[in-house]
Amino acid sequence: MAIRLANNCTNCVNFKDDNMCAQHHIPVSARHTCDSFTMRADIKNIMQCSTCSRYGKSDCTHPKQASPEMLCSDWAPEAVA
Ligand code: SF4
Ligand code: SF4
């Protein structure tokens, strides 16, 4: 099972520091999302094999193709303590 980053408001370019949506002008949280969701570039950029919890492990789905700057749909975030 692939575990991925959530497409929720806190990962969206329109989420502002005061927990407001810059597009809809309403308070939002990690519990919300909408059809205008756009992943923040800084989060997009961390999604590559070198930051995948499967990299170099038996559960990598493309072990022959995996390389630090590659990405596949089975990317999984590393555990954060
Ligand atoms: S409501 Fe939509 S546009 Fe606004 S922050 Fe959430 S996902 Fe982004
Ligand atoms: S190929 Fe896919 S599963 Fe393997 S390390 Fe890269 S992103 Fe992760």
- pLDDT, tens digit (0-9, with 9 covering 90-100), for 9-55: 999 999 999 999 999 999 999 999 999 999 998 887 888 999 899 99
C-beta neighbour count of 28 within 10 angstroms: 20
pLDDT at 4: 77
What pTM was computed for the model? 0.72
Distance of alpha carbon 80 from alpha carbon 72, whole angstroms: 21
Residues lining ligand 1, Cβ inside 6 A: 9, 12, 14-15, 21, 23-24, 28, 32-34, 36-37
Nearest to 32 by CA among 15, 12, 13, 8: 8
Asked whether the predicted pLDDT for residue 81 surpasses 90, the reply is no
Using an 8 Å Cβ cutoff, are 30 and 8 in contact?
yes
Q: How many angstroms does the Cα of residue 28 sit away from the middle of ligand 2? A: 32
C-beta neighbour count of 79 within 10 angstroms: 6
> Which residue puts its alpha carbon closest to atom 5 of ligand 2?
55
